[in-house]
Amino acid sequence: MTSRPPRTVFRNAHLFDSATATMRPNATVVVEGEVIADVLFDATPVDDARIVDVAGRALLPGLIDAHVHVTSTIPDFLKLSMTPATLIAAQAKDILEAMLERGFTTVRDAAGADHGLVEAVERGHFRGPRLFIAGQAISQTGGHGDTRPLAVKTLFCSCAGLGLLGTIADGVGEVRRAAREQIRSGAHQIKVMAGGGVSSPTDPIDGTQYSLEELRAICEEAEAANTYVMAHAYSPRSITRAVQSGVRTIEHGNLLDEASAREMVRHGATLVPTLATYDSLAREGAKLGWSEAMMTKLDRVKLQGVESLRIAKSVGVPIGFGTDLLGSMHDDQSNEFSLRLPALGAAEILQSATRVNARLLGQEGRLGVIARGAIADLIVVDGDPTTDVTLLQRQGARMPVVMKAGRFVRNRL
Ligand SMILES: [Zn+2]
């Protein structure tokens, strides 16, 4: 006798089809072990299974956030770089768990998380979304990853003074070594700082970072390891230079214009906007003691955020879903859904957080979709999130079921 893995059947579900961004009624979804074994649209009885009657509620693929920093446990990078890694890991545990409670079953870490955290989640020490990590972000001297105050001349710790978040590399040789080092230590993708940032003290937001040769070298190393590069970039110039060098995803991209959007389409790049962080920082930044220069940069990118979504949509740039939150602001993760409403429809926003993000992770057909053979990451939502996206907010309170890889994170049905 062969033993079959345990089966769970979700009946009478209103299924979100992430390929068409539509809801389909009367769905039955059969989960066997870690995968979806079948999706049926008639009332075929399935025996020998645990039955969950969804009672007409919405059934969605587990959500994906393509830009998080689970080890940014406090919003002060200098202090963070002097915090023991063990304490950061303990704090990251809480951040990961809360993400899962909000329905995020997969996240892409945009710098900070290491292979230890990936394993802690895989082995079940920590409850959290599966992680796709970038390791340390690669930054030029004085770039967005260089968080040293002006008076500090030296790199003041063995990890280049940046803790877990970043590494400084200048010149083609150094950036190649830095990229190879990330890949060697388990990075799934490479992160590069290709332009100015809000939270770094000395770089102009519309400046560019790295020479084309350096950017190209980093992309070559990623391609050699069968992966890709994600680039932090705001300005049209930094976006254009990045995608022309082979970068596949543009992070933030708030100052995108039509010409740079067309360049993204030409090179098959995806935009990963992160509106949630500007919204949170506008409320919290002054309390954090951010300088006037940093708050001015923040105002500028916040205003342009929604506009960049409108431009990307009109030109046809694929739009992913990211949040980029720090410290206790992680609670605002699901605000990203409603912050996009001025530019995008609710169903499109859900598609960003499922299908588009799965594709940028190279996980099309496995994640972000309810289909035969996909990993059984599922959430049940009380109501229809394609008409009211705020149902995904409030820390998952309107999500009676969260399932990751065939296992219930919770089941209140
Ligand atoms: Zn980030």
Query: Cβ(109)–Cβ(48) under 8 Å?
Result: no
Helix, strand, coil percentages, rounded to 5, for the chain: 35, 25, 45
Parallel/antiparallel/unpaired status of strands 249-252 and 229-233: parallel
Gap from CA of 298 to ligand 1 centroid (Å): 14
Say how far apart CA 372 and CA 404 lie, in whole Å.
16
Where does residue 64 fall: left (phi above 0), alpha (psi -120 to 50 degrees), or beta otherwise? beta
Query: For the segment 136-145, what is each residue's pLDDT rounded down to a tens digit?
Result: 999 999 888 8
Where does residue 400 fall: left (phi above 0), alpha (psi -120 to 50 degrees), or beta otherwise? alpha
Q: How many helices (H) and strands (E) does the chain have?
A: 12, 17
pTM (two decimals): 0.96
Residues paired with 106 in a beta bridge: 64, 130
In which element (H, E) is residue 262 found? helix 258-266
Our CA angle for 397, 281, 233, nearest 5°, is 105
Gap from CA of 205 to ligand 1 centroid (Å): 14
Query: For the segment 95-117, what is each residue's pLDDT rounded down to a tens digit?
Result: 999 999 999 999 999 999 999 99
pLDDT bucket at 161, cuts 50 / 70 / 90: very low
Gap from CA of 112 to ligand 1 centroid (Å): 10
Gap from CA of 324 to ligand 1 centroid (Å): 5
Say how far apart CA 190 and CA 320 lie, in whole Å.
17
Gap from CA of 157 to ligand 1 centroid (Å): 22
19's tokens: 């390929």
**Torsion sign (Cα): 386, 389, 394, 395:** positive
pLDDT bucket at 155, cuts 50 / 70 / 90: low
For 323-346, what is the mean pLDDT?
96
Gap from CA of 214 to ligand 1 centroid (Å): 21
Query: For the segment 185-219, what is each residue's pLDDT rounded down to a tens digit?
Result: 999 999 999 998 887 767 788 889 999 999 999 99
Sheet holding 190-193, edge to edge: 166-168, 137-139, 190-193, 229-233, 249-252, 270-272
Gap from CA of 48 to ligand 1 centroid (Å): 46
